[in-house]
Amino acid sequence: MQDAYFLHPAWRRISPWGQETHGSSEYTVSDKAEVCIKHIEHLIDSIFIRICICLRYRNALDNIR
């Protein structure tokens, strides 16, 4: 199955045949689940990166003091 793309308000991705599809009626439950999982993975990654940046910044401030 093709990777789902993060394009917000509408469900949107390139179908295996190359055309772009719009609207939730064109998606199976597994397609919607895959998109949800991709969004959750992306959210977890962005939160993890922000935590790492905050910790690095805090360590840098501690080293200055």
Q: Which two tokens stand for residue 23?
A: 């609207």
User: Which pLDDT does position 35 carry in this prediction?
Assistant: 82
Could you read off the pLDDT tens digit of each residue along the chain, which spans 65 residues? 444 444 444 445 544 544 555 554 555 667 778 888 888 988 999 999 999 888 888 888 787 76
Report which DSSP code applies to 58.
H
Q: Please enumerate in sequence order all residues whose Cβ is within 8 A of that of 35, keeping only pairs 6 or more positions apart, or say none.
A: 4, 11, 13, 27
